[in-house]
Amino acid sequence: MSSPRPGISAIELRCEAARRLGCTVSHLDPETGYLYELRRGKKARVLLGGYSPLNDAGGARIAEDKFHTGLVLGRAGFRVPPTARCLKPGRFAAEDFTSHTGIAAGRRFADEHGFPVVVKPNRGARGRDVMVAADQKELLRAVHRIWESDYLAIVQTLVAGCDLRLDFLGDDFLLGYLRRPVVVRGDGSSSLRELVARCDPRFSGEAFWKKMESDPIWLERAAVRGWGPDSVPGEEEIALSGEILNLNRLCVAELVTELPAAWYELARGIGDAVALGHFGIDFKTAGLASDPQAATVIEVNASPSLTQVARMGHFEEALAAEIRVVEAILSTAA
């Protein structure tokens, strides 16, 4: 394990990879750093944020839409969770989509499939506003919260299993990781702040603990017991676990650097189905030792970021993978 880089951004990681390849990096929007140019010799490429320019434009657009991605993958024979759409009323001047406008479609879905259900924005990343609803009241609250930032909320069955992420560049597997819940053991003298920080280098600093104030896992497993970051639990095991795990929230991960052949074939088939050349896939599975055909595809990302791998203590591994991405980007440059 290399040293962690807890604060590194996707742009910083990409620019560092570019410099390792002998590129000149020019920030065209220096106020934000979001628009930048990579130049090596006569080849140059202007990039926007962490977006990947290595995908088919249509495929990348489909991947931004979780519902449509599920339709494409389901038609191709891949296992995806049943899903319903809840379109925010008034989104369009003419209500042409009455079958899924409002909360009714989500309620029908929950009645048919049962609670709990997962509610998430149709677009977006980092696990933002992804919630588990245990009843109709929570379903309504979750959908309305999503409508504050996204005009389409999707409702899915809750799939059990481990969370597996696999990132690919063309036919090459880059990196992956298995997400796991944070489990700490109190010793009667260490605070929760100290116990959690020992699990992962990302779990320190005031910015992290500020975010924990609204994290569902923290609220359900710690705050509900009257605990704060400086509480000192006794000698007991504390599982800070939840149904939704995301590295931008409260979970840890085990790095995956080698992929069994059957998993490789499955992932490559998913990339081909959505016409993507640089992509990440989130699965629910019993683990890498299990049959990949039993895994459920939760979503596909057309611009996978390696920053979380760098932040949790695998900086050199993340940088090596990003160097391969930048080399591929430069090979397509004018």
**Is the peptide bond preceding residue 116 cis, with omega within 30 degrees of 0?**
yes
pTM listed for this prediction: 0.91
- Residues in the chain, total: 334
**pLDDT for the residue numbered 101:** 86
Question: Does residue 247 surpass a pLDDT of 90?
Answer: no
- For 260, which DSSP code? -
Instruction: Indicate whether 121 pLDDT > 80.
Output: yes
Phi then psi for residue 157, to 5 deg, are: -65, 150
What percentage of the chain exceeds 90 in pLDDT? 77
Pairing of strands 172-180, 252-256: antiparallel
Cα(328)–Cα(234) distance, integer angstroms:
52
The CB density around residue 238, as the number of other CB atoms within 10 Å, is 18
Structure tokens of 229?
């970051």
Q: What is the pLDDT of residues 34-44, one digit of tens each?
A: 999 999 999 99
Q: Position of tokens 């990039």?
A: 47
Q: Which CATH architecture has domain 55-79+160-181+242-304?
A: 2-Layer Sandwich (3.30)
User: Region 95-116: what's the mean pLDDT?
Assistant: 89
Is the pLDDT at 129 greater than 70, yes or no?
yes
Q: At what angle do helices 136-147 and 104-113 cross, to 10 degrees?
A: 140
Task: Give kind and range of the element (H or E) at residue 261.
Answer: helix 261-273
Q: Which of 8-17, 44-53, 93-102, 265-274 has the lowest mean pLDDT?
A: 93-102
Question: What confidence tens digit (pLDDT) does each residue in 161-219 have?
Answer: 999 999 999 999 999 999 999 999 999 999 999 999 999 888 888 888 998 888 888 98
The pLDDT assigned to 127 comes to 66
- Residue of 115, 165, 135 lying closest to 284 (CA atoms): 165
Give the tokens for residue 324.
Answer: 């391969």
Q: At residue 6, does pLDDT exceed 80? A: no
- Return the ∠ at Cα 222 (arms to 220 and 224), rounded to 5°: 60
CB atoms < 10 A from the CB of 203, how many?
Answer: 19
What's the pLDDT score for residue 7? 78
| pLDDT for residue 334 is more than 60 | yes
Please give the helix or strand (H or E) that residue 26 lies within, else none: strand 24-27
Instruction: Identify the band that residue 93 occupies on the pLDDT scale cut at 50, 70 and 90.
Output: low
Name the architecture of domain 82-158. 2-Layer Sandwich (3.30)
What is the pLDDT of the chain when averaged over all its residues? Answer: 92
What token pair was written down for 46? 């202007």
pLDDT at residue 304, as a whole number: 93
SS (H, E, C) 203-258: CCCHHHHHHHCCCHHHHHHCHHHCCCCCCCCCCCEEEECCCCCCCCCCCEEEEECC
Reply yes or no on whether the pLDDT at 1 is more than 60: no
